[in-house]
């Protein structure tokens, strides 16, 4: 393909004088530029950031030829761009008349979908030495009022919760972010906001302590008194770690054990009130010992998976089950 290229060729040999990095080989590094018969200015139709609902200025790419294409050529769009991208081609010549070619104009529709995209526009040329030509079209489509695509809390301690601060910005050149209301699950999140500029709003999100352990998924809807954009939705994700700590979280039982032998020791925090096994007649027993739980063999080892149940006084984590897995 056109552009700067780099290749590495390794030729293995039994010549003892060629010992590159301890191997009998010769290494050739080839670098260079593969040029085309066409020059583009600029290199593509790059829109940068555009605002959904506002007509962006068209991008113009002027293309002239070298070598076999120097005396002029024609272009015809060969690919089918998406409906929100329109392309037109017309002849072009430099003011001094020394360069002749084609002018490609790319227009982006105001209703282009949100997000970033890169679209290769393929053209057929009248030059047999290079029958095809590619022009890249790229853009980032944003809302008028925008924020981060998501807020990720990572791992959170259940007893402490966590907080993140984000910035909501106005990107259409107007002043003021008229936030009227924020909708979210108040049992999981807390939200406060303050203006930090004519086009910026600082929003602090907090995960409340005591949220149920496990994956955290929530959503914040910011409602605006703005005729052009009424809503901004920000997803929230993370993981709430259990307050009850058991290590290991799963136990692989030994292949065999004598009755009365300890087959597993688990560290539990905070100290549990009691422990039990499900089912109770599984050939194992459990006991508390100095902040740990010992699992003992009391008969034949189980052939199926059983559970060690840790009873605690932690709200929402009164019972913690640890799988005890037999060997096949």
For residue 225, the Cα-to-chain-centroid distance in whole angstroms is 31
Give the number of other Cβ atoms within 10 Å of residue 241's Cβ: 15
CA 160 to centroid of chain Cα atoms: 27
As a whole number of angstroms, the distance between CA 268 and CA 246 comes to: 5
pLDDT at residue 77 in the model? 95
Task: Please give the domain boundaries of the chain with CATH numbers for all domains.
Answer: 3-34 (no CATH), 38-142 (2.60.40.10), 145-241 (2.60.40.10), 245-325 (2.60.40.60)
Q: How do strand 100-108 and strand 115-125 relate by DSSP bridges? A: unpaired
pLDDT, one tens digit for every residue, the chain (328 residues): 677 889 998 888 777 766 666 667 778 899 987 778 899 999 999 999 999 999 999 999 999 988 888 888 999 999 999 999 999 999 998 888 888 899 999 999 999 999 999 999 999 999 998 999 999 999 999 999 999 999 999 999 998 999 999 999 999 989 999 999 999 999 999 999 999 999 999 999 999 998 988 999 999 999 999 999 999 999 999 999 988 888 999 999 998 889 989 999 999 888 888 899 998 888 899 999 887 999 999 888 888 999 999 998 888 888 889 999 998 7
Express each pLDDT in 88-126 by its tens digit: 999 998 888 888 899 999 999 999 999 999 999 999 999
- Report the distance separating Cα 121 and Cα 152, nearest Å: 36
CA distances from 151 to 13, 23, 42, 117, 165 (A): 56, 50, 36, 22, 9
Q: Round to whole Å and give the CA distance between 150 and 147.
A: 8
């Amino acid at each position: 393909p056109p552009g700067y290229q780099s290749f590495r060729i390794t030729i293995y040999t039994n010549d003892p004088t060629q010992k590159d990095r301890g191997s009998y080989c010769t290494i050739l590094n080839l670098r260079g530029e593969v040029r085309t018969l066409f020059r583009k200015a600029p290199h593509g139709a790059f829109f940068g950031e555009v605002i959904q609902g506002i007509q962006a200025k068209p991008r113009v790419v002027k293309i002239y030829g070298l070598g076999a294409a120097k005396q002029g050529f024609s272009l015809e769009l060969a690919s089918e761009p998406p409906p929100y991208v329109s392309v037109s081609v017309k002849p072009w010549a430099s003011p001094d008349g020394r360069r002749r070619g084609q002018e490609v104009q790319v227009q982006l529709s105001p209703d282009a979908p949100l997000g970033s995209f890169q679209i290769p526009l393929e053209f057929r040329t009248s030059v047999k030495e290079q029958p095809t030509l590619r022009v890249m079209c790229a853009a980032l489509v944003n809302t008028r009022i925008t924020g981060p695509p998501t807020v990720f809390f990572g791992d959170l301690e259940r007893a402490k919760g966590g907080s993140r601060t984000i910035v909501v910005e106005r990107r259409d050149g107007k002043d003021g972010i008229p936030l009227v209301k924020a909708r979210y699950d108040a049992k999981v999140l807390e939200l406060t906001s303050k203006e930090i500029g004519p086009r910026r709003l600082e929003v602090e999100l907090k995960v409340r302590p005591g949220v149920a352990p496990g994956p955290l998924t929530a959503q914040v809807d910011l409602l605006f008194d703005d005729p052009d954009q009424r809503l901004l939705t920000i997803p929230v994700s993370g993981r709430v770690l259990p307050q009850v700590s058991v290590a290991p979280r799963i136990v692989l039982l030994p292949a065999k054990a004598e009755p009365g032998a300890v087959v597993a020791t688990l560290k539990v925090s905070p100290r549990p009130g009691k422990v039990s096994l499900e089912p109770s007649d599984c050939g194992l027993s459990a006991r508390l010992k100095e902040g740990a739980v010992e699992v003992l063999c009391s008969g034949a080892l189980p052939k199926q998976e059983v559970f060690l149940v840790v009873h605690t006084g932690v709200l929402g984590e009164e019972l913690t089950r640890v799988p005890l897995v037999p060997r096949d």
